Amino acid sequence: MSGKISAYDAHGDQRKVRMKRRIFSELGGFVVYEPALLARYLDEHGLASGDVLAYFTQTEHGGAVTEEGIAVPISGVRSDYYDFAVTVGEASEEIFAQNEAKIISRGWVFHSSGTLKIAGIGYFKDMSCISEQNSLSFRVKRGRYRLEILGGYRGTNFSGAPTPLGDTSILSDTPVFHLRLTPSAEPKFSGDLETSFYF
C-alpha cells in the first residue's frame, strides 16, 4: 500500500490532504519532517550517519532544525497507533468539532520542498530503518507554512467522505493528529519544545 495522496488537483492548485493509515508512536513520539531538507542539513553538518535522535536531543541541532521548519517533534505521546491528517490552506478543513481537540499547539513552522513525512521518533536512532510501512508521506507544495498540531479522537472519516482504497477508517477510540498548514512567506517560530502531546 503506497499510502500517498497528492496535495494538488489537476490544475496544480493546492488542496486538502486526507487521512492516512495509522503508525505507532515509537519511543513516545513522532517527527514531522521534510526528508530532502533534513538529509541536506545532516550532510552539511556531518551528522548523516549514526544516532540522529541523540544529535537532536543532546546538541543545539534539534532546536535549529525545528526553528527552520525542517523537523518538528511531537513528543510526550502515549504508546499507541495514531492516524494523521494534513490540511493546507487558510480555510482548511476542520478535523475536530468545536472543543473536540484535546491538544492544540501553535507556533510551529514547516518548510516544504515537496514532501511532508512522519515517522516515529525512535526511528531517528537509525533512520535507515524508516520505510513506507512504518512512516507516512504527504505531497505538500513547495514553500513555507505556519503549522498547528491538534490531537484528539475522531469517530468518523475526515470530511465525511468515503474512505479511499488503501486508507483506514477512523474508529471512535483511534487517536488522531491533525497537522494544519497555512502558507506564509515568513512564518515566525514560537513553538514550545517542551510541549507534551499526551492525551
Structure confidence by residue, pLDDT tens digits, 43-87: 999 988 889 999 999 999 999 999 999 999 999 999 999 999 999
Please compute the mean of the pLDDT values over residues 145-158 and round it to a whole number. Answer: 80
Counted residue by residue, the chain has a size of 199
**152 belongs to a structural domain:** yes
**157 belongs to a structural domain:** yes
**72 belongs to a structural domain:** yes
Instruction: Look at the chain and report how many structural domains it folds into.
Output: 1
CA distance 21 to 137: 10
**9 belongs to a structural domain:** no
The rounded Cα 111 to chain-centroid distance in angstroms is 12
Ranking 14-28, 56-70, 105-119, 165-179 by mean pLDDT, the lowest is 165-179
**188 belongs to a structural domain:** no
Q: Which three cell numbers stand for residue 3?
A: 499510502
- Cα angle: 84, vertex 89, 94; to 5 degrees: 50
**129 belongs to a structural domain:** yes
pLDDT, position 79: 94
> Largest Cα–Cα distance of the chain, in whole Å?
46
Q: What CATH number has the domain bearing residue 99?
A: 2.60.34.30
Express each pLDDT in 16-44 by its tens digit.
Answer: 545 567 899 999 999 999 999 999 999 99
CA distance 40 to 35: 9
Confidence of residue 134 (pLDDT cuts 50, 70, 90): very high
Query: pTM for the complete prediction?
Result: 0.81
Question: Residue 95: which domain range?
Answer: 20-183
Contacts of 160 (CB under 8 A, 6+ apart): none
**7 belongs to a structural domain:** no
Highest mean pLDDT among 90-99, 160-169, 177-186: 177-186
**111 belongs to a structural domain:** yes
